[in-house]
Amino acid sequence: MIKVGVVGGTGYTGVELLRLLVMHPQVSLEVVTSRAEQGMPVSSLYPNLRGHTDLCFVEPSLESLSQCDLVFFATPNGIAMQQVPDLLAAGVKVIDLAADFRLKDPAQWKQWYGMEHACHELLAEAVYGLPEVNREQIAAARLVANPGCYPTAVQLGLLPLLEAGVVDPRSLVADTKSGVSGAGRQAKIDALLCEASESFKAYGVSGHRHLPEIEQGLTAISRARGHTTAPELTFVPHLTPMIRGIHATLYASLTQEVEDLQALFEQRYRDEQFVDVMPAGSLPETRSVRGANLCRIALYRPQGRNRVVVLSVIDNLVKGAAGQAVQNMNIMFGLNEKSGLDMVALMP
Amino acid sequence: MIKVGVVGGTGYTGVELLRLLVMHPQVSLEVVTSRAEQGMPVSSLYPNLRGHTDLCFVEPSLESLSQCDLVFFATPNGIAMQQVPDLLAAGVKVIDLAADFRLKDPAQWKQWYGMEHACHELLAEAVYGLPEVNREQIAAARLVANPGCYPTAVQLGLLPLLEAGVVDPRSLVADTKSGVSGAGRQAKIDALLCEASESFKAYGVSGHRHLPEIEQGLTAISRARGHTTAPELTFVPHLTPMIRGIHATLYASLTQEVEDLQALFEQRYRDEQFVDVMPAGSLPETRSVRGANLCRIALYRPQGRNRVVVLSVIDNLVKGAAGQAVQNMNIMFGLNEKSGLDMVALMP
Amino acid sequence: MIKVGVVGGTGYTGVELLRLLVMHPQVSLEVVTSRAEQGMPVSSLYPNLRGHTDLCFVEPSLESLSQCDLVFFATPNGIAMQQVPDLLAAGVKVIDLAADFRLKDPAQWKQWYGMEHACHELLAEAVYGLPEVNREQIAAARLVANPGCYPTAVQLGLLPLLEAGVVDPRSLVADTKSGVSGAGRQAKIDALLCEASESFKAYGVSGHRHLPEIEQGLTAISRARGHTTAPELTFVPHLTPMIRGIHATLYASLTQEVEDLQALFEQRYRDEQFVDVMPAGSLPETRSVRGANLCRIALYRPQGRNRVVVLSVIDNLVKGAAGQAVQNMNIMFGLNEKSGLDMVALMP
Amino acid sequence: MIKVGVVGGTGYTGVELLRLLVMHPQVSLEVVTSRAEQGMPVSSLYPNLRGHTDLCFVEPSLESLSQCDLVFFATPNGIAMQQVPDLLAAGVKVIDLAADFRLKDPAQWKQWYGMEHACHELLAEAVYGLPEVNREQIAAARLVANPGCYPTAVQLGLLPLLEAGVVDPRSLVADTKSGVSGAGRQAKIDALLCEASESFKAYGVSGHRHLPEIEQGLTAISRARGHTTAPELTFVPHLTPMIRGIHATLYASLTQEVEDLQALFEQRYRDEQFVDVMPAGSLPETRSVRGANLCRIALYRPQGRNRVVVLSVIDNLVKGAAGQAVQNMNIMFGLNEKSGLDMVALMP
């Protein structure tokens, strides 16, 4: 049994992580921290956990956390980078579900997150936890930066095209739609039911923090195959009136004739258990992955013109956050990658 | 491994049953029938099952079904009663998720369901599958009538009061609210998103089929304790704009002083794994049982007056249908009652 | 043209009032106050008002408000009672959409609202603004206490029964369901889309502020007809996952045979333009009054037993708040009661 | 008063048209037809119209319709083209809200709508009813083809760019999202609340009927300014879980430096009452136009790169259908273009 701690278990990513961990057959959940809620039973805040855990929230402390084999950070940005060095020094592995270790360039981090990075030296060591790209490095990592939700859906949708070098890397458009849980469990007017339901809007059009993360990832993918032009993405996120789910609609211009796009994707993900390339003509729905650690993808080339359309859906809280974190844990600890992640999506 | 068949797997009850069965560690799903969809892979209709089953829908036939240990009927009312006698004769056990075997009186069945009952002789034998009331009979049964969704929520909420004989059995009111999945997966105008969302309405006020089922159950409960007045219920169901979930708000007039209502309920359900009497002052939310086989209950006595209010919530597709059916299966086959049913509700 | 001011125009009641006022043919909107948003154009906060008003929020001041013929308070409870005496003294009429002047007994007000009432002397003068009960007093009033949303739906549903004296006044149950806009435009976790959608729950079961208001109103109605037993109501409010709408399901036990309940209601509301007694067998939907100043009612007597069920629906922001306030204004200023209120509900 | 008839008043476009027409001060609604519902009061099907019209549905007949000055067709595609020639011959003007007269090329019509066009000769005469482009022709027209919902949002968003000739006409992408009312009031599984809520999906990716309509419109706009390259659009529609609203996110590559995109749009729509170019940095929400005849637009040029992003929102049933039809009527009959259309959007 892997002894696991969760720092910051009160948000939506936190509770989803707890849901997965209490059902995981090889995990022993040891400690869940929350400064604000310390002393309260976890199941008082999240009644779905009644009967599944007796833990109470405790104040975060190195002492309790360092008894764990692995600590997940489900904290706001800027918290993990304060505490990770001590935990690593104590021999504890870390998966950060926030953004602290996602960007490699501390200057870029400061620009997008508005604060100085607290441990530049770990940025190079941290492995970007997208298993479909970095599985081997994850297996050997002490510190994994769990990808953002949009970056997961967008990168998995575009990477076969970029690896194959068949699209113009400057033609990329990602029109993404997210359920409201992406905004977190915070008391904000914008996320009220009366503001966010029965309406649809774009946000962050002039610049969203996931843009540099995606472009960094796409550039790495592209360079690894020897392509020299840096990918450039127009990224427009939208809020859609539902709780869970991301739908990324991706556009790219072909630079050469591709015989069989469908086969290109199927081959790329043949051995991946959490990426499902659907049959040609499919229309993936976000609900088909609700609660499941899965990215479903479909491909189109409308009117036979030279623009490819990729549809990519995930549950933002699972493959876009907590599920991918558990997948990374499974890889880091040599478990079956599907362990604790083999659930069927809830539909309807 | 129990060999299991599902007749009529295309509705919401059917797909929820399939979700639970493919994840059940002691079940081998052998056959799923659908006249309309025969030949189609089950996972084409329900993409959440992609990767979890390779079965295709087949035409229902005694030959294929009689190789099963147990057959579930998730068919419209009036189908199971045609086929059950042959299956029982072939040594196959049956759980009917429709209404065919719920009412004991064939005349009453005809009155409410508008057709002659096809096998009067089995009505007496069939066991009403509410484990919290009839666990022993279920264990010994060949044929279980799985309760309706409203009847489950209402009976579990009222039975401690009726067993204790502390309320006037003619004072009962059940104001119930159901998500739209209760209407099934049928192309009906009323259940369109544009008709049913952003609105709330009552329906079936002059008489709903679950009324005789509930009154039959409450009467049995009451009589078993020697109470002679037959319970009389005012039952008003409502449609609430969400997919899953039933919230029953139950009212009853106390006929005597009860020292501790909370204790009365806690004691009654002390050994029940799928009924959660919440702490005093709780407000159960339907989402806290979404996807889980659980009834959560809370009690109030507003202003200290003599009217008790019971709040009782279930997921209509789980504890109100497919989950309770699996619970009954576990009991019938001597398995751990929680086997395959130990999942955490999906929240948010 | 009536010169009108609105104090506290940033909440949902406020914006709905502004929507109605800018379209009202006999109203000139002079001033909208908000301490928090002063200087901001009203249409920046509420883009639906772009092109309909150029007003900016201003700080509330007696000077600007006293130039109005009428001031509406759409403020939190406890604000209006501070400012109303000065306005009345300046000859300005007032309609308070908050609770400050709804209860007649200052001790009861303190008990339920947690603060000392600031102007006991006005409690007697204030007219409770339910036009279907108090039309004449409203016409003559300087100060109108606009009823709460639940109290409007519940009282209009019960009053024909109580006036006729045909039900047991101690048998009353009001099981009410409200859309989330009833919680106001405040950043509260409970009202987030991810908390309140796809779920249903009761709240305030042990005691809700609208209970004393309703019981006060029902008692007045009852006493006016010479009935001596004070009505006693079990009141259980619920939150339903939609924006607008209240559905009250009301239960009462008949104490005598009533020949024609339908006729009783139709006669009572024959001359009322904003109460629609629907044909027998109807099932009023909240969406049928969305955006409209209307209460629709239907009646049942299930199984011919002695319990009456009344279904009563309103839009909580219109007939339950802003629309009723405009109706009261029309009455106070001798306008056609329908002026500015003759819109068709938005459906679907 | 203009005497008006509506053919096919039972769908969502029909009821929205009726809502606008019964409130229009210069319209007398004479006849509403429905073969299926003849004899039924219109307000039985749509209770929001109770008290606003006493009309019953009648069978469509030339006799009754030819007494009107104007007939609206809110019928399925392929109906209007059968009846329009006779009505025009009888001196009745026609606005068709279906697709029968939108495409100029009968071969293209047959290709996309799967039937032979019944009156080729009227295709040339019919005026495409987008007032912001064709106001003068509409004023003189006998027959107006009311635009589709997506085509309205997309063309209004792109036309300033194409008229100015500043973008590559082959770079166009329209990623559009529609509420479910766009699918009409038909009993289809896909549009059930349980299928369409809490999920997001694309549809019609390989080819949607609005694509040729949009490309025809954009080509006309482009050619009128002397640009020779025919616009080519990648058009991906999506279904978003809400009732009303379309959000079009439009992408185009600049071919030249544009000093002030914002000013380009503001100038183009300066005199348009139903197009609102919002201030720079705005994020239009569909709810801000719910129930209103308005297109709101905002512009972005993310990261200063050469791709323009236009956000364009409408209510699909109003500016995307019934409201635009009333706007066209106002123009055809020389009324104030805002007559009957000056309502405030319902928000929240």
Strand C233-239 and strand B143-145: pairing? Answer: unpaired
- What is the rounded distance in angstroms from the CA atom of residue B26 to the CA atom of residue C14? 59
**In whole angstroms, what is the distance from residue A151 CA to residue A153 CA?**
6
Give the closest residue to B134 by CA, choosing from B209, B223, B69, B221.
B221
How much is the average pLDDT of A330-338?
98
d(CA D44, CA D249) in angstroms, rounded, equals 38
d(CA B35, CA B10): 10
pTM of the model: 0.97
Smallest CA-to-CA distance from A251 within D304, D171, D153 is with D171
pLDDT beyond 90 at A254? yes
Mean pLDDT score, D3-27: 96
Chain-centre distance of CA C70, in angstroms?
A: 18
Question: How far apart (Å, rounded) are the C-alpha atoms in residues B128 and B214?
Answer: 11
Task: Report the candidate in C324, C335, C328, C339 with the shortest Cα–Cα distance to residue C135.
Answer: C328
- Rounded Cα gap, residues A171 and D51, in angstroms: 56
Among this protein's residues, is C194 annotated catalytic? no
Q: In the beta sheet, which residues pair with residue A246?
A: A178, A314
Tell whether the model's pLDDT for residue D337 goes beyond 90. yes
Which amino acid would we find at residue C154? V
User: What mean pLDDT value characterizes chain B?
Assistant: 97
At A238, is the pLDDT very low, low, confident or very high (cuts 50, 70, 90)?
A: very high
Residues A83-105 have pLDDT tens digits of 999 999 999 999 999 999 999 99
- Helix locations, chain B, DSSP H: 12-23, 42-45, 62-65, 80-89, 106-113, 120-125, 131-139, 149-164, 193-196, 210-224, 261-268, 323-332
Biggest alpha carbon distance in chain C? 62
Task: Please tell me the CATH code under which domain D2-125 is placed.
Answer: 3.40.50.720
Query: Smallest Cβ distance to D197: which of B12, B185, B197?
Result: B197
Beta-carbon contacts of residue B183 (< 8 Å; ≥ 6 apart): B190, B191, B239
CB within 8 Å of B309: residues ≥ 6 apart: B249, B250, B251, B299, B300, B301, B302, C205, C234, C236
- Spatial separation of the C-alpha atoms in residues B299 and B307, rounded to whole Å: 11
Domain ranges of chain B: 2-125, 150-316
Query: pLDDT tens digits for D52-95?
Result: 999 999 999 999 999 999 999 999 999 999 999 999 999 999 99
| Choice among A56, A68, A119, A149 that is catalytic | A149
Interface test with B, best of A16, A43, A48 (most B CBs within 10 A): A48
Size of chain C in residues: 348
Per-residue pLDDT of D108-167, as tens digits, reads 999 999 999 999 999 999 999 999 999 999 999 999 999 999 999 999 999 999 999 999
Q: Which of D234, D240, D288 is closest, CB to CB, to A241?
A: D240
CA distance A244 to A260: 32
What's the CA gap between D44 and B244, in Å, rounded?
29
* pLDDT at residue B9, rounded to an integer: 82
Phi, psi of D286 (to 5 degrees): -60, -35
* Residue C210 predicted with pLDDT over 90: yes
Average pLDDT of every residue of chain C:
97
Residue B334 exposed, middle or buried by CB count within 10 Å (0-12, 13-18, 19+): exposed
Residue reference for tokens 């009813």: D129
The amino acid present at D38, given as its one-letter code, is Q
Whole-number CA gyration radius for chain D: 20
Instruction: Give the C-alpha separation, A77 to A98, whole Å.
Output: 5
pLDDT confidence bin for D9, thresholds 50/70/90:
confident
Tokens read off for D330: 């106002």
Domain made up of C150-317: CATH architecture: 2-Layer Sandwich (3.30)
Cβ–Cβ contacts within 10 Å for residue D170, how many?
17
Q: What pLDDT score was predicted for residue A9?
A: 82
pLDDT at site C141: 98
Q: CA neighbours within 13 Å on the CB side: how many for A166?
A: 18
Cβ atoms A162, A169 nearer than 8 A? yes
| Token duo for residue A284 | 């993936």
Q: Give start and end residues of each alpha helix (H) in B165-299.
A: 193-196, 210-224, 261-268
Give which of A185, A196, A178, A173 is closest to A238, Cα–Cα.
Answer: A178
Q: Do the Cβ atoms of C74 and C49 come closer than 8 Å?
A: no
CA distance D121 to chain A (A): 29
**DSSP SS3 for A269:** coil
Q: Is the pLDDT of residue A119 over 90?
A: yes
Question: C23 and D52 in contact by Cβ < 8 A?
Answer: no
Residue of C12, C48, C194, C271 to mutate, interface with D, max D Cβ within 10 Å: C48
Q: Measured on CA atoms in the order A203, A207, A209, A215, is the torsion positive or negative?
A: positive
* C48 part of contact set with chain D, CB < 8 Å: yes
Distance separating alpha carbons of residues A56 and A41, to the nearest angstrom: 4
On whether the B150-316 domain is CATH 3.30.360.10, my answer is: yes
Q: For residue D104, give both structure tokens.
A: 């100029």
Q: Which of residues 198-257 of B touch C (CB under 8 A)?
A: 198-203, 205-207, 211, 232, 234-236, 238, 240-245, 247, 249, 251
pLDDT recorded at residue C9: 82
Contact check, Cβ <8 Å, D181/C348: yes
Q: Which residues of B are catalytic?
A: 149
Q: Mutate which of D343, D344, D347 to test chain C, going by most C C-beta atoms within 10 A?
A: D344
Structure token digits, residue D315: 């209510």
Integer angstrom CA distances of residue A130 from A211, A297, C165, D272: 16, 16, 71, 49
What are the residue ranges of helices labelled H in chain A? 12-23, 42-45, 62-65, 80-89, 106-113, 120-125, 131-139, 149-164, 193-196, 210-224, 261-268, 323-332
Residue contact C194–A241, C-beta within 8 A: no
Inter-chain residue contact B305 with C281, CB threshold 8 Å: no
The C-alpha atoms of residue D71 and residue D96 are separated, in whole angstroms, by: 8
Is it the case that residue D311 has pLDDT exceeding 90?
yes
A198 and D290 in contact (C-beta within 8 Å)? yes
Residue written as token pair 């009563």: C312
Q: In chain C, what residues touch B312 (CB-CB under 8 Å)?
A: none
Cα separation, A292 vs A315, whole angstroms: 7
pLDDT at residue A187, as a whole number = 92
CB atoms C194 and A188 under 8 Å: no
Q: What share of chain A is helix, strand, coil (3-state, %, to 5)?
A: 35, 20, 40
CB distance B322 to A348 below 8 Å:
no
- The pair of structure tokens assigned to C286 is 């909240």
DSSP, res B141: -
User: Rounded CA gap, C23 and D291, in Å?
Assistant: 14
Nearest CA distance, D98 vs chain C (angstrom): 19
Residue listed under structure tokens 């170019």: D277
CA A7 to chain centre: 17
Chain A window 313-342: which residues touch D at a Cβ cutoff of 8 Å? 313
Q: Which class in CATH covers the domain with range A150-315?
A: alpha beta
Distance of CA C69 to the CA centre of its chain: 22
Identify any residues that bridge with A250 across adjacent strands, giving them in sequence order: A174, A310
- Cα D56 to Cα D60: distance, rounded to the nearest angstrom: 12
- Cβ distance D292 to D286 under 8 Å? no
Q: What string of DSSP letters covers D40-107?
A: SBHHHH-GGGTTT---BEE---HHHHTTSSEEEE-PPTTSHHHHHHHHHHTT-EEEE-SSTTT-S-HH
C185 and A181 within 8 Å at the Cβ level: the answer is no
Coil, helix or strand at residue D151: helix
Query: Which 3 state secondary structure label does DSSP give A192?
Result: strand
ipTM over 0.85 threshold = yes
Taking the Cβ of residue C344 and every Cβ of chain D, the question of whether any pair is shorter than 8 Å is answered with yes
Distance of CA B338 to the CA centre of its chain: 17
Mean pLDDT of chain D: 97
Burial class (CB in 10 A: 0-12, 13-18, 19+), D256: exposed
Strands laid side by side in the C2-7 sheet: C57-58, C27-33, C2-7, C70-73, C93-96, C143-145, C127-128
C17 — phi, psi (to 5°)? -60, -45
pLDDT band (50, 70, 90) for residue A345: very high
List subunits contacting chain C, requiring 3 or more Cβ pairs under 8 Å.
A, B, D
Question: Residue B121 is which amino acid?
Answer: E
Q: Which of the 8 DSSP states describes residue B29?
A: E
Task: Name the stretches of chain B with pLDDT < 50.
Answer: none
Pair type for strands B233-239 and B201-202: antiparallel
Task: Taking residues C241-267, report their average pLDDT.
Answer: 97
CA distance A20 to chain D (A): 21
